[in-house]
């Protein structure tokens, strides 16, 4: 195997999948990246057996072949090379990498020992614009559980029904959900995509216009188109293959309040700024802020023995009876930070029932209240 490649393209190719590289000592090859020179492209593949990523970059290939090299060390070396032109040549188990006056000899492991990514799926295949798909994920992914004992909640639930994709995340104390119609498929299915996969998909989206995903009961494949802008060197698409979480997702519809009684319109950024300022005086022992709705105003307040008190008041349209509800400020800030709309609606009933953020485009976030003395 022998090829010449632009250093920026080399770095970009490695960077797409370096986050999934495993450090499992029982399988040293999982710390490596599979490098394949085929035609006029070089392909980079990384996997940790649960999640794998493959992408291609342009290169001048003199002879085809494949080898695996330590992924993170290789990325560090390539970034440090002095010239934009990098020459790569396989000689037995060693790879010779040169750029201007720099020369490296790197030991590799055989490509045949590298775990193959599963074949791309065609069943349950759905297409979507990258921008809209990214917005769906970002609007809900913060609500995933980080408690490993509740592994079913350690991901985002994809529910497909009649061409509509609903994505849901919950940690048991809040639930975020958003739906979008991407086609006219009459099938219905659901999968739980692990949080690590969601994080990688969010990172990779936005490099092109279109994408598609397909899945079965064991795995999901995302194919993310890359815009050939002549700068990144990336070509074709980035393939992400992931296991899905095995289990039944809770009935999230039962969590959504059927009656909330009160509904107010909020300026998203103004409300977010006020919540963040008031939350500055909260402490680990008292991590809550109060929302008091009364007389066309929303008053936000917090207090702790360690730091003192804070108050903010926002003018709103509200003429109902005074209602005061306490919430974790993070649970209020996360959806407001993720959304892009200027106007957000907040629905509530009383201090014992959840509050609900909504927008006009199918987004909602249910937040459980806190009981404070």
pLDDT of residue 308: 95
Which whole number is the average pLDDT over 206-231? 88
Over the stretch 326-347, which tens digit does the pLDDT of each residue have? 999 999 999 999 999 999 999 9
Buried b / exposed e over 312-333, threshold 16 CB at 10 Å, is bebebebeeeebebbbbbebbb
Domains in the chain with CATH codes = 2-113 (3.10.150.10), 126-231+239-252 (3.10.150.10), 256-367 (3.10.150.10)
pLDDT of residue 120: 67
pLDDT of residue 161: 86
C-alpha distances in Å from residue 213, one per residue of 129, 135, 136, 208, 306: 11, 16, 14, 15, 49
Q: In what order do the strands lie in the sheet with 174-181?
A: 188-194, 155-161, 164-170, 174-181, 364-367, 355-358, 343-348, 262-267
Exposed / middle / buried, residue 301 (Cβ in 10 Å: 0-12, 13-18, 19+): middle
- The answer, yes or no, to whether residue 16 has pLDDT greater than 80, is yes
* Cβ count within 10 A of residue 92: 8
- The answer, yes or no, to whether residue 207 has pLDDT greater than 90, is no
């Amino acid at each position: 195997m022998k090829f010449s490649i632009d250093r920026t393209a080399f770095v970009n190719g490695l960077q797409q999948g370096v986050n999934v590289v495993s450090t499992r000592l029982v399988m040293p090859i999982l710390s490596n990246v599979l490098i394949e020179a085929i035609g006029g492209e070089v392909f980079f593949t990384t996997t940790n057996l649960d999640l794998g990523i493959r992408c291609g970059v342009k290169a001048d290939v003199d002879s085809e072949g494949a080898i695996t090299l330590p992924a993170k060390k290789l990325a560090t070396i390539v970034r440090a090379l002095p010239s934009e032109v990098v020459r790569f040549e396989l000689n037995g188990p060693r790879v010779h990498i040169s750029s201007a006056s720099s020369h490296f000899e790197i030991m590799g492991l055989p490509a045949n020992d590298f775990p193959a990514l599963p074949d791309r799926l065609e069943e349950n295949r759905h297409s979507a614009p990258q921008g809209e798909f990214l917005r769906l994920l970002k609007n809900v992914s913060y609500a995933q559980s980080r408690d490993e004992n509740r592994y079913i909640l350690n991901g985002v639930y994809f529910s497909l029904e009649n061409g509509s994709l609903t994505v849901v995340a919950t940690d048991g104390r809040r639930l975020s959900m958003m739906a979008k119609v991407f086609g006219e498929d009459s099938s219905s299915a659901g999968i739980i995509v692990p949080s690590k996969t969601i994080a990688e998909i969010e990172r990779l989206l936005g490099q092109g216009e279109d994408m598609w995903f397909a899945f079965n009961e064991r795995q999901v494949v995302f194919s993310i188109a890359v815009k050939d802008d002549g700068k990144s060197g990336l070509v074709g698409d980035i393939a992400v293959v992931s296991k899905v979480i095995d289990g039944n997702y809770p009935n999230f519809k039962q969590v959504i309040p059927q009656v909330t009684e009160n509904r107010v319109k909020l300026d998203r950024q103004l409300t977010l700024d006020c919540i963040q300022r008031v939350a500055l005086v909260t402490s680990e022992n008292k991590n809550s802020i109060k929302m008091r709705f009364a007389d066309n105003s929303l008053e936000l307040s917090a207090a702790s023995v360690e730091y003192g008190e804070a108050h903010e008041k926002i003018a709103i349209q509200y003429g109902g009876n005074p209602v005061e509800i306490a919430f974790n400020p993070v649970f209020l800030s996360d959806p407001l930070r993720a959304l892009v709309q200027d106007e957000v609606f907040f629905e509530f009933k009383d201090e014992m029932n959840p509050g609900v953020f909504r927008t006009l485009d199918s987004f909602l976030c249910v937040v459980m209240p806190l009981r404070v003395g």
